[in-house]
Structure 1
Amino acid sequence: MSPLWTSAALRAATGGSLAAQLDVTGVSIDSRSAGPGDLFVALRDARDGHDFVAAALAQGAAAAMVDHAPPGVAADAPLLLVGETLASLTALGAAGRARTGARIAAITGSVGKTGTKEMLRLLLAGFGATHAAVASYNNHWGVPLTLARMPAATAFAVIEIGMNNPGEIAPLARLARPHVAAVTTIGEAHIGHLGGLEGIAEEKGSIARGLLPGGTAVLPRDNAHFERLRAMALESGAGRILTFGRDPAAEVRLLEAGITRDGRTRAEYAVLGTRVEVHMPAPGLHHAENACCALAVVAALGLDAARAAPALAGYAPGAGRGAPRDIAVDGGTALLVDESYNAAPPAMRAALETLAQRPGARRIAVLGDMRELGAFSATLHAGLAPAAAQADLVFCCGPEMARLFALLPAAKRGALAADSTALAPLVRAALRPGDTVLVKGALGSRMAVIVRSLTEYGA
């Protein structure tokens, strides 16, 4: 296997010093998963990565990027000494981007980023070697890490770009320098940090500032903020605007979508005038909408979307993002839909609407607080009550979801608890054979506690 980076290339990219002559085949920031051939980058986050350099090297890492001597490491250890590790990882990402001839697509949006990115990984793989981020590596270290991991011979790359606060997207987009920049949608995610939907649109639209000259912006034609997104893309030098959505004016149009009896999503599209049909094992109309964006990106890259579309038969949501599984309950089994990884109002509405269409003896929603909604939180939580009321039974935890719970009809109220730990046994005791249960909330609401309780029951 060709090396990802040689010691000479590492020194050139970062300006660091490395005495050893070596090759690395991967880049890692987690000592637990660092393996043979990896460059371990000692970042500072909740803990200082320098404290784990010795462990990474013991597991076979070829070298470690550090900005000071790490504890418990021999003086002759293979250390790439740099000025500051995050800045040097960013420099390594920039070098990874500069050396490749890959066609790059960058994706942002209030919801749907990771799903759209994973769809594009499948769609583009049929045309050449495709590289994309793992999980949701879309922040100030995730984007540089994804670029640093990109092999020089990559044909296509998909870079997911996220944010929590204003001013974070544009610098990452400039680092990625995409040929195509796409916005999935504008919704209320992170609204507490951005003051309103207009601020969210400004931040998400800034992805176009990283476009290569004459590049293409792929934008949601249905969204109320489309015109502002379009204006920002043109101001940033986009040579083309390609639109997607249900709007009749969209160039990539979602014509119809539904969930089949066997729990699959079937959707039909018009992609630049050509009809394209898609079947995905993941149920949910939001998946059909994400696929609309993904097919538009394929078209924006000049590729045949109809040829690519069958690859979506292999798409399935990742852990905590809607992956279904059977779980044991007293007297039989129920179906668990695990959406415990995150939650924003648009994603919460989509999950509840999908739950309402699923088969099952009873459809049960287990909901935890959404986060980062600021002064809008009370209104946005309460506003979900009509969608939640489509379920047969609703369980809630957290002070914000208590507002929703109070608005439900009495017959729909399962139980309300202070947190997920207290709610878990109440949910478990209520489940019956044949139920379908959705568990969803922000990562900080720790809804994974409930998922573990349900999956471990009877194991």
Structure 2
Amino acid sequence: MLKIYKIIEDLKSKYKSDIVFDTRLIKKNDIFIGLKTKNNDGSLYYNEAIKKKAALVIVNIYNTHPKLLYVKDTHLFIKKFCKFILDSYKGKIIAVTGSVGKTTFKENIFHILKNNNISAYRSYKNFNNIQGLQFSIMNMNLKSKYSIFELGINNPNEMLKLVNTLQPHYCLVTGIENSHIGNFRNFRHLVDNKLKIFKSKRLISGLVNYNYEPHYINNKLNLKVDLINSENLKKFIISNKKNIQSKFYL
């Protein structure tokens, strides 16, 4: 299977290919993976992907077409392929979560790095659930120095699944709002689940912008994570070197 993963990366590099799950989005030389859902099976659309001149079509339907790759379970294939990519990646990964501002903050970090001539990749739009994360991982630029992803959760224990997949080096929580409890028991239950972003085994440092119960949040954090608010925000300038003004540095 490693050979297949390397072929995909070679195709991405050679043709600037995107990996897509939707045949409507296919451009010439893109790579299509047919996902099976409760209501549909993307593998059934392999002919359409071939007609649109996809460079490779990965589906759970056997066919002798030279551009078609049969896999028994496309979800398992994606999971293993994402692990291969992350194991191959030599740069650093930044993860952003929070009740509000995830996409904006992610985009700001990306443009700050880009404007300072630092190569960076960021996840696609606001794709922040497990499928969106996998989509963005598979389309990563392995030559970038930094990759920024946003992580979103709607239910308990989703954050652990996201973090175990991505294993980011730097993690930021933009804020946790009492008005976004949703499927969580109460505010503290939401806080506990958001803060699981810091369970990454590769965590170097992290920040939490807090608005409520700072003492409760502080007791949940480790020494690699700092709390910030509007009063001390200036102390946490993102920099490319450690200095007296910058506690969170890349």
> Which band: TM-score by shorter chain?
0.7 to 0.9
Conserved 8 A contact 2:177-2:211? no
User: Structure 1: which amino acid aligns with 2:5?
Assistant: L
Deviation at 1:57, TM superposition (A): 2.0
| Counterpart-to-counterpart distance in 2, 1:122 and 1:49 | 34
Show the counterpart of 1:39.
31
Pick from 188, 209, 214: which aligns with 1:198? 188
Show the counterpart of 2:248.
none
Structural mapping, 1:128-277, within 5 Å: 128-188=118-178, 190-213=180-203, 215-220=204-209, 222-234=210-222, 239-247=223-231, 250=232, 253=233, 270-272=234-236
Conserved 8 A contact 1:208-1:232? no
User: Structure 1: which amino acid aligns with 2:187?
Assistant: L
Conserved 8 A contact 2:100-2:174? yes
User: Structure 1: which amino acid aligns with 2:74?
Assistant: T
- The count of residues paired between Structure 1 and Structure 2 equals 237
Conserved 8 A contact 2:5-2:84? no
User: Structure 1: which amino acid aligns with 2:64?
Assistant: A
User: Structure 2: which amino acid aligns with 1:49?
Assistant: G
Q: CA 1:91–1:77 in 2, change beyond 3 Å: closer, same or farther? A: same
| Counterpart-to-counterpart distance in 2, 1:233 and 1:57 | 50
User: Structure 1: which amino acid aligns with 2:30?
Assistant: D
Gaps of 5+ in 2: 246-250
User: Structure 1: which amino acid aligns with 2:33?
Assistant: V
Conserved 8 A contact 2:218-2:227? no
Q: CA 1:243–1:302 in 2, change beyond 3 Å: closer, same or farther? A: farther
Pick from 44, 55, 65: which aligns with 2:58? 65
| Counterpart-to-counterpart distance in 2, 1:197 and 1:166 | 12
Pick from 42, 46, 51: which aligns with 2:44? 51
| Counterpart-to-counterpart distance in 2, 1:99 and 1:116 | 26
Deviation at 1:225, TM superposition (A): 4.1
Q: CA 1:141–1:37 in 2, change beyond 3 Å: closer, same or farther? A: same
Show the counterpart of 1:76.
65
Structure 1 vs Structure 2 CA RMSD: 2.7
Show the counterpart of 1:8.
3
Q: CA 1:226–1:182 in 2, change beyond 3 Å: closer, same or farther? A: farther
| Counterpart-to-counterpart distance in 2, 1:50 and 1:176 | 26
Gaps of 5+ in 1: 1-5, 14-21, 254-269, 273-295, 307-459
> Secondary structure at the residue paired with 1:217?
strand
> Secondary structure at the residue paired with 1:75?
coil
> Secondary structure at the residue paired with 2:125?
coil
Conserved 8 A contact 2:121-2:144? yes
Q: CA 1:211–1:185 in 2, change beyond 3 Å: closer, same or farther? A: farther
Q: CA 1:50–1:167 in 2, change beyond 3 Å: closer, same or farther? A: same
With a CA cutoff of 8 Å and minimum separation of 6, indicate the structure with the bigger relative contact order. Answer: 2
Show the counterpart of 2:83.
94
| Counterpart-to-counterpart distance in 2, 1:97 and 1:44 | 24
The structure carrying a bigger strand percent of its residues is 1
| Counterpart-to-counterpart distance in 2, 1:189 and 1:140 | 23
> Secondary structure at the residue paired with 1:80?
strand
Pair 1:23 & 2:11 matched: yes
> Secondary structure at the residue paired with 2:175?
coil
Q: CA 1:30–1:233 in 2, change beyond 3 Å: closer, same or farther? A: farther
Deviation at 1:240, TM superposition (A): 2.2
User: Structure 2: which amino acid aligns with 1:31?
Assistant: T
> Secondary structure at the residue paired with 1:64?
strand
> Secondary structure at the residue paired with 2:58?
strand
| Counterpart-to-counterpart distance in 1, 2:79 and 2:60 | 14
| Counterpart-to-counterpart distance in 2, 1:60 and 1:226 | 54
Q: Mean alpha-carbon deviation: is it higher for 143-152 or for 40-49?
A: 40-49
Deviation at 1:164, TM superposition (A): 1.4
> Secondary structure at the residue paired with 2:31?
strand
Instruction: Please report the TM-score for the alignment, with normalisation by the length of structure 2.
Output: 0.84
Summarize deviations over 1:401-444 as a string: whole Å, max 9, x none: xxxxxxxxxxxxxxxxxxxxxxxxxxxxxxxxxxxxxxxxxxxx
Deviation at 1:246, TM superposition (A): 1.0
Deviation at 1:47, TM superposition (A): 2.7
Q: CA 1:79–1:232 in 2, change beyond 3 Å: closer, same or farther? A: farther
Pair 1:117 & 2:106 matched: yes
- The sequence identity of aligned pairs, in percent, is 21
Conserved 8 A contact 2:154-2:182? no
Q: CA 1:145–1:226 in 2, change beyond 3 Å: closer, same or farther? A: farther
Conserved 8 A contact 1:111-1:189? no
User: Structure 1: which amino acid aligns with 2:230?
Assistant: R
